[in-house]
Structures are given as structure tokens and as C-alpha cells.
Amino acid sequence: MILAVDVGNSRVKWGLHDGQAWHKRGWAPLADIVALGSDWAALEAPEHIVISNVAGPNVRSALDKLFSRWPCEAAWLTAQAAQCGVINRYQAPARLGSDRWAALIAAWARCAGACVVVNAGTALTVDALNDRGEFLGGLIVPGLTTMQAALAANTAGLQVASGQYADFPTRTEDAIFSGAVAAMAGAVEKMAAVLGSRQGHAPQCLISGGDAARLHARLSVAATIVDNLVLDGLIEIARV
């Protein structure tokens, strides 16, 4: 059994995998990470634990305490120069976020061709993978909630409020929401166009993350929503 754990900026997602299929999956808010202790109490003991953590050393320490119930040693993912068929062209490969690296590996295992790999969470990451499995580089954009909060915090008279998407918004809250979604869609569509021009064909596009559905609904390029792309990548890494 493999326990895969994806620690993001707002949530901890996890899954128990037997090498062929998921047995159980779940998540907890980052602020309530200790809740995982009860979630994992009845789990079959994993033989391998693999983690992507972008939330810092304090979270790593908290998780290490939870992992101590099992005899296996936890493997904390760091992006490599090459792994699982993917070549990392980042100037300093290890500085690429472990979540982005795991998602790229999952995308290559799924597509084996040019792909725009998107995670729509606290931040929006839009990464380009070519037909040879090379990660060419990518974009980082504030995510939907982050953009809305930043605008409200830095603009007099604006407050974060629930909005709806409209092509021509006529309420301020809708204008903020629609602008944020349009900005995210624009980043994805731009990357798809640039990568497609370089490859000579349209790339596939995979989208994961909490705002994947909202983004997917507004894209003008074909895309597929994949739940827990980072967890899928962690399993690919653990199986090698």
C-alpha cells in the first residue's frame, strides 16, 4: 500500500493506493491538520509514504508526528532534473514546486504528449510539457479567491462578495468574479496557443484543483478535469 499526501496552501489531500487503484481518499483543511490522525487511525499500514509539501517546515513536522505510527520512512518529494520520463528544464530544477512536478509526471503518464498542466487552487499554475516529455516552463497566477481578496484589500470601497460569471457583468461583485475567472482562462489559453505553435498541433490540457470546474466552464480550448493530479503523480513516483 502507498499513502500519497498532497499538502497545498489551504488543504491536505491524501489517498491510499495499492499500486493499481485507490482504496480510500480524503482531505482536511490545512488549519486542522491534526484531524488526519483520526482519519488515518483505521487505515491499513502503508508500505510507502510519499508527500508533496508546499506549506513549509511546520506542516512537515506535524505530519512527521502523524506518520510515526507506521514503521516505513516518509519520502518528501523534491523536483528532479529528470524523473518518470519527464525532463525538467527549470533553471534550478529543485526549485520547482513539488506539486507542479508531481502533476507534470501524472500528466506525462496519462498523455505521453504535449500538454498544458493546470492546477487551479490558491495559486493558478499553468505548465507546458512538450512531445518529448520536457517541462519547458510555466506561469504562476493568483488563484480565483486570491485575486478577489487582493482586489478588495487594495481598492477602497470594494469588498469580497459572492459573484457570478457574466460576459457583461452589471454588478460589481460579478465584475470582480468574472474578471478573475477571465484572467485565469486567459493564462491557460495563452499557454495552449504558444505550446501548440511550437509543437505544430494543439496540446492536451489537464486541469486539477478546487476551482477546476469554474475555470473549465470558461475555456475556449478543449480541456479535461482530473481530480487529484498531484496524488496521481505521487503514485507514479512511488511505483518506480
Answer yes or no: are the C-beta atoms of 22 and 15 closer than 8 Å.
yes
Lateral strand order in the sheet of 48-53: 22-29, 11-17, 2-7, 48-53, 74-76
Find the catalytic residue in 6, 39, 99, 232: 99
Q: Residue 175: count other Cβ atoms within 10 Å of its Cβ.
A: 15
Distance CA 194, CA 192 (A): 6
**What CA–CA distance (Å, rounded) separates 122 from 142?**
7
DSSP state of 121: S
Q: Distance from first CA to last CA of the chain, Å, rounded?
A: 14
Residue pair 92/157 in contact (Cβ under 8 Å)? The answer is no
Alpha-carbon gap, residue 149 to 206, rounded angstroms: 26
Q: Which of 91, 106, 10 is nearest to 50 (CA)?
A: 106
18 is annotated as an active-site residue: no
**Cα(169)–Cα(229) distance, rounded to whole angstroms?**
33
Kindly provide the b/e burial profile for residues 7-38, where b requires at least 16 CB atoms within 10 angstroms of the residue's own CB. bbeebbbbbbbeeeeeeeeebbebeebeebee
- Which positions are catalytic? 99
